[in-house]
Amino acid sequence: MKVKLSVLIVLISLAANAQNFEGKAIYKTSIKSSFSFGEDEKSTMSDDMKKQIQARLQKMNQKTFILNFDQKTSTYKEDIRLDAPKPQVGGAGVMLMSFGGAGNGSVYFKNIKEKRFSNQTEIMGKRFLVKDKLTEYEWELSSETKNIGNYTCYKATFTEEVENVRMTFDNGESKEEKKKEKIITTAWYTLQVPISNGPGNYQGLPGLILEINDGKKTIVCTEIILNPADKIKLQEPEKGKVVSQKKYDEIQKEKTKEMMERYRSRDGKGIEIKIGG
């Protein structure tokens, strides 16, 4: 049975129980690729090249992140490995690249108590510091449970309408198509870790979120270390041009258009990039 989230009393109780509480959670992410090659008759790439690019994209979209947290704040950062695949030029003039969130210095800081975040990130090599209020999700709680590792988790969902932008470049002309889509995001949280936090920008439930799925992206916690021997240092990022989330989204959209124009060529027929969601 689902009930509308009303967690003020629960969160007050959690705050009282979470004093001097800190830890580390490791998450694995997987994102479905939204890269396509247009209609087969318009594409100059071989089937083998398409398979190579899709495989490379799949590997790029499988990452590991670390959430360091205490009762009030947290940092979420990619666990960078030396052998991690880097964006590069594929065959037929196709550029595989990240539009945001990439780079060794990227970190997402949350202050749960003050309901704000600072996201130090990059767009095509330029660093930004996105500062804004935390999203207030309208979670619906469920009595359904499942185990993730040694933790009993409860189900919660929220529904939102998002605007997806599909940008295509075909026969020397760039096109943009906007489409609204209803997204249902499912979270699994545990009361055994009493903080109202989770991976990325997710938070607001009466326990740590261990799994998130919005139909395209899946984030799953694989390990939790509570109150480690070495004290966790949580520091808010300070580097980058300060912008709001709305302004950052506008810049990201504009840079995507620039990228498509820059890399268009006779081999770029049928390239499609999807933003949003």
Q: Name residue 98's amino acid.
A: S
Please return the burial class of 44, using the count of CB atoms within 10 Å of its CB with bins 0-12, 13-18 and 19+: middle
Cα–Cα distance list, 72 to 20, 26, 59, 173, 186 (Å): 10, 19, 34, 49, 24
* Per-residue pLDDT, 19: 57
Q: Do 165 and 275 touch, CB atoms closer than 8 A?
A: yes
The phi and psi torsions of 6 (rounded to 5 degrees) equal: -140, 90
pLDDT in the model for residue 231: 87
- Smallest CA-to-CA distance from 130 within 117, 147, 140 is with 117
Dump pLDDT digits (tens) for 52-79.
666 666 666 678 999 999 999 999 999 8
The Cα–Cα gap between 37 and 273 comes to 10
Q: Read off the pLDDT of residues 6-59 as tens digits, 9 standing for 90 and up.
A: 444 444 444 444 457 899 999 999 887 555 555 544 556 677 776 666 666 666
Residue-level pLDDT at 54: 66
Indicate the pTM of the whole model: 0.76
pLDDT of residue 178: 78
Q: Which residues contact 194 (CB under 8 A, 6 or more apart)?
A: 14, 17, 18, 21, 206, 207, 208
Residue 16 is predicted with a pLDDT of 45
Q: Which stretches in the chain have pLDDT values below 50?
A: 1-2, 4-18, 40-41, 84-100, 102, 266, 268, 275-277
Cα(275)–Cα(277) distance, integer angstroms: 7
Q: Where are the beta strands (DSSP E) in the chain?
A: 2-4, 22-31, 62-70, 73-78, 107-111, 116-123, 126-133, 140-148, 151-170, 173-190, 208-213, 217-226, 241-243, 271-275
Contacts of 137 (CB under 8 A, 6+ apart): 158, 202, 203, 204
pLDDT reported for residue 153: 98
Predicted pLDDT of residue 207: 97
